[in-house]
C-alpha cells in the first residue's frame, strides 16, 4: 500500500473519532477516487498513482473555484477552496516559478525543441518530473510561451 494512501486512511479514522465532518468528507472523496481506480484498473495504487489522482482532484477544484468566482458564488468557491487545501496537504510540496522555469528550460534544451510543434516532446519529459509538484496547465502555458 502506498504511503499517501495509508496516511489518508489513517486520517479518515482520526477525523471520524474527532468529529471533523468537513475534512472527513474530502478524505472520503479521495478514498473513493482511489478505490474506483483500483477497481477499474485492477491494480494496487502506488504513490505515483496517488499523486496523479490527487493532482486531478486539485485541478477540478481550481477550475470550480474559477467558475464559481466568475458566477459570483463566493459561498461555493469558499467550499472548494477548503477542499483544495485539504487535497494539497497530501501532494508533494509545490515548486516555485523559478524551479518550474528551470525545468522547462532544461526540457527544451534536452529535446532541442524550437517551435510549438515540439511541445509534445517537452511535455513528455516534464509531466513525470513535475506531476503533483506544479499545476500542469500553467507548465503547459509556460512551454507555449518559451516555444512560441
Number of neighbours of residue 54 by Cβ within 10 angstroms: 23
83-140 tens-digit pLDDT: 999 999 999 888 888 999 999 999 999 988 888 898 999 999 998 888 888 888 889 9
CATH number at residue 105: 1.10.10.410
Q: Which has the closest alpha carbon to 34: 7, 1, 5, 56?
A: 5
pLDDT at 67: 97
Q: Which domain holds residue 140?
A: 97-147
Last residue of a domain, one of 67, 88, 109: 88
> pLDDT, tens digit, for every residue of 57-98?
999 999 999 999 999 999 999 999 999 999 999 998 888 889
Give the contacts of 108 (CB within 8 A, at least 6 positions apart). 122, 143, 146, 147
Number of domains in the chain: 2
Amino acid at each position: 500500500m502506498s504511503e499517501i494512501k495509508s496516511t489518508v486512511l489513517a486520517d479518515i479514522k482520526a477525523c471520524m473519532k474527532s468529529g471533523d465532518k468537513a475534512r472527513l468528507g474530502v478524505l472520503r472523496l479521495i478514498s473513493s477516487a482511489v478505490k474506483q481506480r483500483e477497481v477499474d484498473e485492477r491494480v494496487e495504487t502506488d504513490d505515483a498513482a496517488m499523486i496523479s489522482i490527487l493532482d486531478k482532484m486539485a485541478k477540478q477544484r481550481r477550475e470550480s473555484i474559477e467558475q464559481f468566482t466568475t458566477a459570483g458564488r463566493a459561498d461555493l468557491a469558499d467550499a472548494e477552496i477548503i477542499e483544495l487545501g485539504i487535497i494539497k496537504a497530501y501532494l508533494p510540496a509545490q515548486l516555485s516559478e523559478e524551479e518550474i522555469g528551470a525545468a522547462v528550460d532544461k526540457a527544451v534544451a534536452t529535446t532541442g525543441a524550437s517551435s510549438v510543434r515540439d511541445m509534445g516532446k517537452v511535455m513528455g519529459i516534464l509531466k513525470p518530473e513535475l506531476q503533483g509538484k506544479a499545476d500542469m496547465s500553467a507548465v503547459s502555458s509556460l512551454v507555449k510561451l518559451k516555444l512560441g
